[in-house]
Amino acid sequence: MSPQPEPVPSPTTPPSLTEVETHGVDRIPDADRTATPLDLFRLAFGGANTFSTCVLGAFPILFGLSFWQGLAATLLGVVVGALILCPMAVFGPVNGTNNAVSSSAHLGVHGRVVGSFLSLLTAIAFFSISVWSSGDALVGGAHRLFGLERSTPSYVIAYALFAGLVLAVCVYGFRFMLFVNKVAVTSATALFLVGAIAFAGDFDPSYAGVFTDSADAATRSLFWPSFIGAALIVLSNPVSFGAFLGDWSRYIPASTPRRRVIGAAFLSQIATLLPFVFGLATASIIATKAPEYVDPAAPDFVGGLLAISPGWFFLPVCLLALIGGMSTGTTALYGTGLDFSSVFPRLSRVQATLLVGASSIAFIFVGRFGLDIVRSISTFATVIVTCTTPWMVVMMLGFHTRRGWYDPDALQVFNRRQRGGRYWFAHGWNWRGMTAWWVSALLGVLFTNIPGQFVGPLGDLANGVDISLPLALVVAAVLFLTLLRLFPEPRAVYGPEGARLARTVDTPVLPITGPDAPQNDAPLSDPPTTLRA
């Protein structure tokens, strides 16, 4: 009797952790989509459940708010940021690719590079915050535990350790990153709860800040600018994930109910109240016991935290720094490397990840030891988020007007170096979406007012209150919808059910031409079933 052939592995069997991911921004085959909304929650929460989020959580105290005022600003920033962010999760399951590629439908085949550029800047900013804050905590904890000298070589080794580990995880890809974040979510949460015990005896929720009844009129007049500025810095954290959610949700099956995907993204940011409140509470203790560390001119949250920590908490601080640095760094760097493999098609996902990673690491070292811009990076991150939010508005309104219908082949035209298709518009640019984005982003930057850090040319027109983000949101929404009404898009981009809140025009769509293009001029086939309501 002849031997039986070896069974063929099921196509739905997930690859092993140590298998390097081969998928780039090409549409993920249905058989390989084995992720769940819970996995999305773990990645989005794990990427923010870190030491760098604690640093952002300290800003309300640095701006002079009391603990309760700071808590209100934190709640406002987290909830509003989560509401802005969560709809961005649906593009991945619908199109099986990342959000920058999906933006081709609304900014044009070439206009999608806007999303790639924004994701690169966001990744560098938050990767840098992660490495710097975690490296400083690791060196400081080792100094208190083992007497390690806090010298330049010590910091170089710490930063290199974090950056190297993060880059290795990103090279392996999605599955390995998911595994790291599964571990990080549980362990970092446990360490934050241990930290609550460590500082419970010193915490006083009655910390009053500088905006007290006895403060002079000039000081009291700065309350609302400080409150809004603190809320916007907190809000920058959830919104910063907008360009990256599709990197992870593209592995979720298209048939997954939409409300579960959106809910996972929303809850992942609500859960970040844990590190935010930890940073807020410990900053109020630092302001009382070691105020020199919360000087707005030269804040040092990590140094202040180590100064007030009990000796037994130094090791948990080191562990939290290591775990948190890995989690935030991987979620920031992975997507940018993924996307640049499509911007530069000669590079594989691994090669693009190595290139972006090396460039980011160079920025980290030059920025820390050469230019000394560590204290300015939070301002940079906030400005980048101000530019990213209008892009997200265009994407979300575009999804609504298109009724969630997309042509996955036409989305890949840029990546395949082709021309034409439903999203070619005017030479690869959809000037409607592009105009709505750049006008609102520019206005947002002009009206930015971050107390003591950055004030745009028009930042004082609202009595010192930072109205940059609300203004950018409203202008982007109104301008984009107005342009869609005044200058209709081709009927073909809206699919079988037609447009919502927009007019259309029956203009011909150029056929896709170039490598592996269809061999006829007929419209491309309809996309797979989108997410269920």
Whether the predicted pLDDT of 12 surpasses 60: no
| Higher-scoring residue by pLDDT: 310, 302 | 310
Separation of alpha carbons 479 and 515, rounded Å: 36
pLDDT digits 0-9 by tens, 435-476: 999 999 999 999 988 766 778 899 888 887 888 888 999 999
pLDDT at position 3 is 44
pLDDT at position 383 is 83
497 within a domain of the structure (yes/no): no
Are the C-beta atoms of residues 45 and 359 closer than 8 Å to each other? no
Total tally of structural domains belonging to the chain: 1
326 within a domain of the structure (yes/no): yes
Domain containing 84 equals 34-211+218-375
| Higher-scoring residue by pLDDT: 291, 335 | 291
Whether the predicted pLDDT of 262 surpasses 50: yes
- Mean pLDDT comparison of 5-9, 315-319, 337-341, 478-482, highest-scoring range: 478-482
Are the C-beta atoms of residues 31 and 173 closer than 8 Å to each other? no
Half-sphere exposure of 454 (CA within 13 A, CB side): 20
467 within a domain of the structure (yes/no): no
Considering the chain, what is the average pLDDT of its residues? 84
pLDDT mean over 227-233: 88
Whether the predicted pLDDT of 176 surpasses 80: no
What CATH number has the domain bearing residue 252?
1.10.4160.10
pLDDT at position 168 is 81
Whether the predicted pLDDT of 16 surpasses 70: no
Separation of alpha carbons 460 and 454, rounded Å: 11
Say what percent of the chain tops pLDDT 70. Answer: 89
24 within a domain of the structure (yes/no): no
pLDDT at position 275 is 93
pLDDT at position 11 is 44
| Higher-scoring residue by pLDDT: 327, 98 | 98
pLDDT mean over 119-134: 79
pLDDT mean over 65-86: 96
- Mean pLDDT comparison of 94-103, 165-174, 339-348, highest-scoring range: 94-103
- Longest C-alpha distance within the chain, in Å? 96
pTM: 0.85
251 within a domain of the structure (yes/no): yes
String of DSSP letters for 196-229: HHHHTTT--TT---S--TTS-HHHHTTHHHHHHH
74 within a domain of the structure (yes/no): yes
Are the C-beta atoms of residues 70 and 60 closer than 8 Å to each other? yes
**185 band by pLDDT with thresholds 50, 70 and 90:** confident
Helix, strand, coil shares, percent, the chain, to 5: 65, 0, 35
pLDDT mean over 332-336: 73
Separation of alpha carbons 503 and 490, rounded Å: 9
Say what percent of the chain tops pLDDT 90. Answer: 36
pLDDT at position 438 is 96
Separation of alpha carbons 182 and 527, rounded Å: 32
pLDDT mean over 388-392: 94
pLDDT at position 378 is 67
pLDDT mean over 274-291: 93
8 within a domain of the structure (yes/no): no
pLDDT mean over 379-397: 88
**352 band by pLDDT with thresholds 50, 70 and 90:** confident
Separation of alpha carbons 241 and 180, rounded Å: 18
Count the Cβ atoms, other than its own, within 10 Å of residue 442. Answer: 16
pLDDT mean over 139-163: 84
Whether the predicted pLDDT of 55 surpasses 60: yes
185 within a domain of the structure (yes/no): yes
pLDDT at position 526 is 44
